[in-house]
Structure formats: structure tokens, C-alpha cells
Structure 1
Amino acid sequence: MKARLAASAVLVALLVGGTTGCTFLTPQATSHMYDASDGIGTTLGDIRVNNALLVTEDGQNASLLINLDNTSAFGVQVSIQYENTQKQKVNESIYVNGDSVAHVGGPDATKLVLSGIDAPAGSLFPVFLQYGDVTGKQLYLPVLAPNGEYAGLEPTATPTP
């Protein structure tokens, strides 16, 4: 009887150790930074770039969706540069107040359209972000179709007079 009880206790200890002990060997996913959305992110000095992506219907004009989180007390002008199909560098900019987040491209946010590009849905499109004298970074933004949560965020045609 004692042997059976001891064997049961050992078996329970092995099962508990085997099923919970694996967490000592595996890395914690919560300790790794990753982009938990469709867009990508990076850090430029005091600016955290979050969920940057493009939404397009025709592949020639795309809405930029991006969140710029300024962690400094001072406002900055973030430059966004891209190359159009004519091989011309196009510069756009977004002002971000100190200690705040600039939301661009959402339903109730400022709109920024990249025009004259070749970026069909499913591709990656290069943009260069920089501000002040902080070294800039080139990002390859995912280009998405205006489906699901991105429906209605694509650029709309400008009415002609």
C-alpha cells in the first residue's frame, strides 16, 4: 500500500513538474517587442511610430495610416518622403505636439494621401521618416486593400470643377 501511494505521489509530481516546468525553458512572448497589428513600427529619437501602413484601391493613390507618439515635451515636424512613379522625391510632413500622439488616416483623423505611386495591395512600399537632426529610417509599409476595418479609409477622388 505504501509503495502504491509513493508511486502515485511520484507520478503526480512528475506530471505537475512536466506540465508547468516547460515555462522555465521557453522564452516569454510578452518580453519581446513586436508589431501586434497590420502595420509596422519603429522609433525615431523621441518619436514612436506605430501601426504604419497604406490603404489603396487602385495602387496609384494610397492613404497613409500612422500613429506618431511624441514622448518629448517639445513639438516636432516629422518628414515623410517617398518616390513617385516619375522617380521624383515627394515630401510630406506631420506636426506632432509634445507629449502627444498624432493620428493620421483614421476615420476622424487628418488625411495624408501618397499620390502617383505604384503600390498594389499586398505589396510593401518604401517611405523614409525623419525629423530635426535625428537620423531617419526607411520603412517598408504594408499596402492593404480597403476591406474589413480599413473599408472607407482609401483615398477618395477629388471632384473636378
Structure 2
Amino acid sequence: MKARLAASAALALGIAIGGSGCAMITYQATTEKYDASDGVSADLGTIELRNMLVVSDDGEQGNLVVAVVNTGEDDATVEFEVVDSGERFEVDVDAGDVVSLGAGDEDPITIEDLGAEVGGLVAIYAQHSGEEGQEIQVPVLDGRLPEYEDLAP
């Protein structure tokens, strides 16, 4: 009787484990953070830069497109610098707020001396409020795609 009960319990356990799918031992791709669009992302402490890209028709002048998310409890000023040209600009972001630059109703952040090839990358250094900064390799795209045709300067 005990053997039959033990066999039934082992069989039930085997069916439960087998019926749960491979989730217990298989790699879960949904746990990986990735950039779902053409831009790149970076985290600077409590500041998150999302879908960062530059739209340019000629590689000389470009429009920086980025969503700046402040997850902190203090207002922040985010500083950007185009590494090759030294061109700088700042963006103020209130605590808990998101500022979208370069798209929609927002004024574009025009980089006058981009010096990058369309289809290539441009190095942009970003930093805020005394946090350690980060150099980000940002893709340079043109207006051939419908979603970017109105974003080129």
C-alpha cells in the first residue's frame, strides 16, 4: 500500500513538473532589458535616457531625439555634449517627470556641428547633477522612414 501511494505521489509530482512547461529551467527572454526601437538607452543614476537617436539628412546638422525620465525625488539638469565638436546643451527635468526632446510639440535640440555620417554613430556624453556621466554611441538616422521624415532639421 505504501509503495502504491509513493508511486502515485511520484507520478503526480512528475506530471506537475512536466506540465509546468520549461519555465523552471529555460532562459526567459522577457527578463532582459533591450531597446525596442532604433535608438539607444542609458541610465545615469535617477535619470534614464530612452530611445536616444539623432535625425540628420546630411550628417552636418542633426536633431537629438530622446525621452529623459527623472525617477528621482529632486529636479535635475541633464547636460549633453557632442564629443567630437564640443557642442553642449542642457535640459531641465522635474522630479518624477518625463521630457521628450526633438519630437512632437517640443522644440528640437539642434546639433549644429554634428560631423557624423548618416547610418553611423555619434558620441554624446551625458551627465546630471554631479552624477558620473556616460559616453553614449548614438545612431544617426535620416528622414527616409515615415516616423522620422518630419524630425530632420
Question: Structure 1 length normalisation: TM-score?
Answer: 0.78
* Residue matched to 1:78: 78
RMSD: 1.9
* Residue matched to 1:99: 96
| Cα displacement (A) at 1:83 | 3.6
**Residue identity (%):** 31
Q: Is the CA contact (8 Å cut-off) linking 1:83 and 1:117 kept in structure 2?
A: no
Please give the alpha-carbon distance, in whole angstroms, between the structure 1 residues aligned to 2:83 and 2:46. 26
Question: Structure 2 length normalisation: TM-score?
Answer: 0.82
Q: Is the CA contact (8 Å cut-off) linking 1:103 and 1:110 kept in structure 2?
A: no
Q: For each residue in 1:26-67, what CA deviation from the matched residue of structure 2 results, as whole angstroms up to 9, or x when unmatched?
A: 311110111111101011011011000000001100000000
Could you tell me which amino acid in structure 2 is paired with residue 137 of structure 1? Q
| Cα displacement (A) at 1:107 | 2.3
* Residue matched to 2:142: 145
Could you tell me which amino acid in structure 1 is paired with residue 150 of structure 2? G
* Residue matched to 2:10: none
| Cα displacement (A) at 1:108 | 1.3
Secondary structure in structure 1 of the residue aligned to 2:30:
helix
Greater share of residues in helix: 1
Structure 2 residue runs without a partner (length 5+): 1-17
* Residue matched to 2:33: 33
Q: Is the CA contact (8 Å cut-off) linking 2:78 and 2:91 kept in structure 1?
A: yes
* Aligned residue among 126, 134, 153 for 2:131: 134
Q: Is the CA contact (8 Å cut-off) linking 2:83 and 2:125 kept in structure 1?
A: no
User: What is the number of equivalent residue pairs in this alignment?
Assistant: 137
